[in-house]
């Protein structure tokens, strides 16, 4: 290996052309020796054959020619190969005359990074500090000549290798090691660049430590390294992930104050922050500002706006932005169309959702599992199980594998149609596909059993859920109780209520409705039990919605119901005596009051002075 020595020391080394000649001489000597020994052995054995002698001669000639050929090719390769003595130094660094150094350590004894955290060897750093290069002028007559430009190139290459090691630590999620490596760059006498600091800032942001990431950006400025657009974008993105939209906007303002120009990613981040909060108008303002600054929006910016409209079920708004995408000549992605389909699903407009699915496929954009799930969900919300089954079948024909959300949507559609067989079949397929079902999926199947009045299937599904280690929630218990409640089996419903209480679950208005319905459907009616259950529920703070009041009126009578519904300490209100009826499909209803003006109905109770009456 070459090391900086005096020229006299270098000239003592034999030239490269002598080595092959020495190897050739040794090889010829060994060949002659082998031939002599072989000849003597033949004489001693008494063999005398001309053919044997000819074979020996050919063998000797072959043994001499073949090595000679390879030696000749090696000499030619050595002559054509440029002088790479510096690169073949085995990773050892140049040292001063008399400096005691160790391979793999910097001028101050700091170890240079030899491998990243992923196990990829980056080699030993070859950077030269200013102190190390002092006295290493041009070495005349030797193998190398270091100029100032070469030294700068070597320094930049060394920083790049340090950056690779830092980036590897970031990918491994080890921000502490990334920070340590950045400090060691200074210890090695080198100057970190913007990439070095951005990697450390990203490491902290990736761990959710925004405060530390901000400190590194400030330290970056103090060390004379100017942050770029990426530096600020990292901090803005970290704020958005932490649901701090105001913090992201503050960093954009700071970026402008520092004279750094935002790019399309900067504005797209702020648009996404507003869309994530459902602030569509605020997101549109950022888009307008983006255009006024001369920054051309990309498809990501528009997708955020379409997504915001989709969350609110604003189909018109989502379609408006898709048309804007087409006007600007941008290519709509699968996420673009899926967001519009999802907006249609939330609005319950299944025909419009189908139109956008067909438009997506006509544009040669293949729908993914999220697209099909949104479409099936639209069918479910529109209570069209046959349509949901059709889209599920179409998805399988296209080779798109369903996920948990897909099965949940199609099972929910079957449940709303009361199709227990179809819901159970999809649950079975879900298990065969090794897709774990959650409590929501099982609750949907239980809801289908409740609508069909199939208590046996409901109990079977409930036990199946428990066997898979899934803990039922109060909605699952309420769905299980409803088919028994319609039959008037209040004993079974009370047993389920006790099981639910033993598991630490509190009764809500859904289960209270099922319990009161069981008392009302029993023969004879259980008025006293219904009164006690209602008073206990009210004492626990359970709000009585119109459906609970309807079931209570059926169980205890309208007069007694009005007395129970009167505020505590206030005289009973007579109310309007109209016959109470349950929902045609027997489903559990929402427990929230709408705040709409009271109106008369033959199917519900009537609210008078903010009190539900029978």
Three-state DSSP state, 612? strand
- pLDDT value of position 7: 37
d(CA 132, CA 96): 7
**Do the beta carbons of residue 99 and residue 92 sit within 8 Å?**
no
What residues have CB less than 8 Å from 446, skipping those under 6 apart? 458, 461, 462, 476, 479, 480
- In the chain (614 residues long), the average pLDDT of successive 10-residue segments reads 39 50 69 70 60 63 67 67 44 37 41 41 36 37 44 64 86 85 85 89 88 90 91 92 90 92 92 87 90 89 88 87 90 91 90 94 93 92 90 93 90 88 90 89 92 92 93 94 95 96 93 95 94 93 91 93 76 40 38 36 43 55
Nearest to 192 by CA among 216, 176, 168: 216
- Claim: this prediction has a pTM higher than 0.75: no
Q: How many CB atoms lie within 10 A of CB 15?
A: 7
| C-alpha 277 chain-centroid distance | 20
User: Degrees (nearest 5) of the Cα angle 130, 134, 136?
Assistant: 120
**Do the beta carbons of residue 522 and residue 554 sit within 8 Å?**
no
What residues have CB less than 8 Å from 557, skipping those under 6 apart? 527
Q: Half-sphere exposure (CA, 13 Å, Cβ side) for 14?
A: 7
**Do the beta carbons of residue 192 and residue 228 sit within 8 Å?**
no
- pLDDT value of position 359: 93
Report domain extents, the chain.
Answer: 16-73, 500-613
Alpha-helical (H) ranges within 92-145 are: 130-133
- pLDDT value of position 79: 60
Q: Which residues pair with 606 in a beta bridge?
A: 613
**Do the beta carbons of residue 606 and residue 545 sit within 8 Å?**
no
Q: Is the CA virtual torsion 427, 431, 433, 438 positive or negative?
A: positive
Q: Which residues pair with 115 in a beta bridge?
A: 121
Three-state DSSP state, 495? helix
Tokens of residue 385, six digits: 């199980």
Instruction: Provide the 8-state DSSP code for 105.
Output: B
- pLDDT value of position 165: 87
Three-state DSSP state, 277? coil
- pLDDT value of position 210: 87
């Amino acid at each position: 290996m070459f090391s900086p020595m005096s020229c006299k020391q270098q000239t003592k080394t034999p030239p490269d052309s002598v080595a092959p000649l020495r190897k050739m001489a040794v090889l010829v000597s060994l060949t002659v020796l082998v031939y002599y020994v072989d000849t003597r052995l033949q004489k001693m054995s008494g063999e005398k054959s001309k053919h044997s002698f000819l074979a020996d001669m050919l063998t000797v000639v072959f043994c001499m020619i073949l090595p000679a050929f390879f030696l000749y090719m090696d000499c030619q390769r050595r002559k054509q190969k440029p002088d790479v003595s510096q690169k073949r130094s085995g990773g050892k660094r140049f040292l001063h005359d008399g400096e005691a150094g160790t391979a793999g350590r910097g001028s101050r004894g700091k170890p240079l990074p030899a491998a990243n955290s992923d196990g990829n060897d980056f080699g030993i750093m070859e950077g030269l500090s200013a102190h190390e290069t002092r006295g290493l002028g041009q070495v005349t007559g030797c193998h190398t000549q270091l100029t100032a430009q070469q030294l700068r190139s070597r320094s930049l290459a060394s920083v790049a290798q340090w950056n690779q090691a830092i980036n590897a630590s970031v990918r491994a999620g080890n921000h502490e090691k990334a920070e340590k490596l950045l400090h060691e760059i200074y210890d090695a006498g080198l100057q970190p660049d913007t990439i070095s600091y951005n990697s450390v800032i990203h490491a902290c942001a990736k761990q959710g430590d925004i405060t530390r990431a901000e400190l590194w950006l400030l330290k970056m400025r103090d060390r004379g390294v100017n942050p770029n657009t990426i530096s600020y974008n990292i901090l803005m993105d970290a704020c958005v992930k932490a649901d701090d939209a105001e913090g992201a906007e503050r960093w954009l303002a700071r970026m402008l104050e520092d004279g750094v120009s935002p790019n399309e990613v900067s504005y797209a981040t702020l648009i996404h922050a507003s869309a994530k909060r459902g602030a569509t108008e605020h997101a549109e303002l950022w888009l307008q500002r983006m255009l006024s600054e001369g920054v051309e929006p990309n498809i990501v910016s528009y997708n955020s706006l379409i997504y915001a409209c989709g969350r609110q079920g604003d189909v018109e708004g989502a379609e408006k932005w898709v048309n804007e995408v087409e006007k600007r000549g941008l290519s709509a992605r699968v996420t673009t169309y899926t967001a519009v389909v999802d907006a249609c699903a939330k609005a319950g407009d299944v025909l419009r959702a189908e139109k956008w699915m067909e438009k997506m496929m006509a544009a040669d954009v293949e729908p993914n599992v999220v697209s099909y799930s949104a479409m099936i969900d639209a069918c479910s919300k529109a209570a069209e199980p046959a349509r949901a089954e059709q889209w599920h079948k179409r998805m399988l024909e296209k080779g798109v594998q369903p996920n948990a959300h897909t099965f949940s949507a199609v099972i929910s559609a079957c449940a709303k149609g009361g199709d227990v067989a179809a819901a159970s079949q999809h649950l079975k397929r879900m298990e065969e596909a090794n897709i774990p079902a959650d409590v929501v999926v099982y609750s949907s199947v239980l809801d289908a059993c409740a609508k069909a009045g199939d208590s046996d299937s409901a109990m079977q599904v409930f036990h199946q859920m428990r066997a898979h280690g899934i803990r039922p929630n109060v909605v699952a218990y309420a769905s299980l109780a409803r088919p028994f409640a319609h039959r008037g089996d209040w004993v079974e419903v009370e047993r389920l209520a006790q099981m639910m209480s033993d598991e630490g679950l509190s009764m809500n208005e859904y289960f209270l409705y099922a319990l009161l319905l069981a008392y009302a459907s029993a023969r004879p009616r259980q008025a006293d039990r219904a009164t006690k259950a209602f008073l206990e529920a009210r004492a626990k703070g359970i709000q009585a919605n119109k459906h609970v009041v309807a079931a209570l009126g059926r169980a205890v009578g309208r007069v007694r119901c009005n007395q129970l519904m009167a505020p505590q300490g206030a005289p009973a209100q007579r109310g309007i005596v109209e016959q109470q009826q349950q929902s045609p499909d027997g489903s559990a209803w929402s427990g929230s009051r709408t705040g709409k003006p009271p109106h008369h109905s033959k199917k519900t109770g009537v609210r008078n002075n903010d009190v539900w009456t029978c």
